[in-house]
Amino acid sequence: MKLKKLTREEFSWSLYDWSSSAVTLLLTAIIPIYLKSIGHNYNVADSMSTAHWGIVNSVSTLVLALCAPVIGAVADFKGNKNRFFNVFFTVGILSLFASVFLDNYYALLIANFVMLIGYTGTYIIYDAFLVDVSPDERMDYVSSFGFGMGYIGGSIPFVLSLLLIMLEPFGLDGVTAVKLSLALNGVWWLLFTLPFLKNVRQVYSIEKTKHVVSGTLKNVAATFKKIAHHKVMGLFLLSYFFYIDGVNTVITMSTEIGADKGIDANQMVLALLATQLVAAVSVMLCARLVKTTRAKPIILVSIAVFAGVCVFGYFMTTALHFWIMALVVALVLGTIQALSRSFFAKLIPEKDRNNEYFGFYSIMTRYASILGPLILAGLTLWTGSSRYGILGILVLFVAGFIIFARVKEPDEEKEAASCANSADVLG
């Protein structure tokens, strides 16, 4: 299937991946290490800092997960989708800039908690915008392209941040260098979000009702019932809950795990940079591969690779091991995220209520982000070693693989539904 070039809306939508991925790297590679350093001034051990960071991620995720269906339902009303995105984006960007001026360990934890609310909140809306900017037959390609843009775009401010932190030019001290890197990433996030704010608009919507609260709750309940009766969508969301939990945990806690293993911070950061570059190439190749190959087998292979990474992580002891783990993850990281997003988008039966459906998709994403860090933090605190926490994540990928293996492709599901409807008419 030959695909046309990206439209202005598709490209502007993809640019948000480019801009916001800088924040992802901050949360993965720089802020956790920075918190450990600041925590030393407050007699906070590295293992406790790991636990604190896991709790911050889990609680912020829980707050959004509880609100996601209602946010999605209200965002479906005409004109609300862009408003909700703007609010979350404003909260996130202001909290990031606030972190530049904070030196207290606990104040930084709070600021990052608020930033996580704003940052991840934008993705509840952003993911659903895929339905507005792209038709079904282009979704795999556009979603994969977006993730590829994210890996490339996120790497640029990340490299500049590394140069600031590692070289400490112009007589900067370590803390000031980190603060400047936070400001740099905030400017990047703001600047390259502007095309999205200008060009991406809500296409599918429902008219506002007089009774917004009761109407919203009814819509949420109705959508939940539809998902419950939609076997393929229900199975997909259940499998996604498990395997994306493991993926998110590997992403958000990787540097914490490496630090607990005694791996040099510079080695970890360089490995993560290489991960970004390899992942960018990998997901762009995937964008071409999905033109001729179904998404399901690619997702299954990706889940299996992550399961293997958990086993390998249990035995990780050296910087070389960390490099190997990081590069293997890079081969499938963007692919599993991009294809999961477009796989679900193509399952949505009512385009004008896509935010409601993506609200439940976000529940799976956000609740999944609670269980993984808690497993890792709990087993680490219980045993005193993060290696058992890493191994505990394996069960999430095993469960996700088994369930997803039973899920039909979106086009197979639509064909089956069409045949069933034809049979009913003939009957």
Q: What is the CATH number of the domain that holds 21?
A: 1.20.1250.20
Domain assignment of residue 355, yes or no: yes
Domain assignment of residue 425, yes or no: no
DSSP 210: S
**Single pTM value for the model:** 0.76
Helices (H) and strands (E) in the chain, counts: 17, 0
Which range, of 82-91, 349-358, 403-412, averages the lowest pLDDT?
A: 349-358
Residues 412 and 97: their CA atoms lie apart, in Å, by 47
Residues 424 and 391: their CA atoms lie apart, in Å, by 49
Provide the sign of the torsion angle of the four alpha carbons 242, 248, 250, 252, taken in this order.
Answer: negative
- Residue 211's CB is within 10 A of a number of other CB atoms, namely 9
Domains of the chain: total: 1
Residues 268 and 175: their CA atoms lie apart, in Å, by 19
Which H or E run includes 233? helix 231-260
Q: Quick one: pLDDT at residue 217?
A: 65
Q: Quick one: pLDDT at residue 354?
A: 74
Q: How far is CA 26 from the centre of its chain?
A: 13
Integer CA distances (angstroms), 332 to 71, 139, 295, 422, in order = 30, 18, 13, 39
- Residue 417's CB is within 10 A of a number of other CB atoms, namely 13
Q: Quick one: pLDDT at residue 420?
A: 38
Q: Mean pLDDT, to the nearest integer, of 139-152?
A: 87
* pLDDT band at 68; cut points 50, 70, 90: confident
Q: Quick one: pLDDT at residue 180?
A: 92
288-304 pLDDT, tens digit per residue, is 787 777 888 999 999 99
Closest CA to 280 of 325, 337, 320: 337
**Amino acid identity for residue 13 in this structure:** W
The partner residues of 77 in beta bridges, in order of sequence, read 206
Q: Mean pLDDT, to the nearest integer, of 156-169?
A: 86
Rg of the chain on CA atoms, in Å: 21
CB 57 within 8 A of CB 116: yes
CB 92 within 8 A of CB 119: yes
Q: How far is CA 93 from the centre of its chain?
A: 17
Q: Which residues span the domain enclosing 292?
A: 8-203+213-420
220-247 pLDDT, tens digit per residue, is 676 677 777 778 888 998 899 899 988 9
Domain assignment of residue 426, yes or no: no
Domain assignment of residue 268, yes or no: yes
Q: What is the mean pLDDT of the chain?
A: 82
What secondary structure does DSSP assign to 332-374, as a single string? Answer: HHHHHHHHHHHHHHHH-S-GGGHHHHHHHHHHHHHHHHHHHHH
Domain assignment of residue 1, yes or no: no
Closest CA to 306 of 396, 402, 405, 409: 396
The partner residues of 51 in beta bridges, in order of sequence, read none
What are φ and ψ of residue 77, in 5° steps? -65, 145
Domain assignment of residue 61, yes or no: yes
The partner residues of 206 in beta bridges, in order of sequence, read 77
Domain assignment of residue 183, yes or no: yes
- Residue 191's CB is within 10 A of a number of other CB atoms, namely 10
CB 154 within 8 A of CB 381: no
Domain assignment of residue 3, yes or no: no
Which range in 197-201, 205-209, 355-359 is most confidently predicted, on average pLDDT? 197-201
Which range, of 18-22, 299-303, 328-332, 380-384, averages the lowest pLDDT?
A: 380-384
Q: Write down how long the chain is.
A: 427
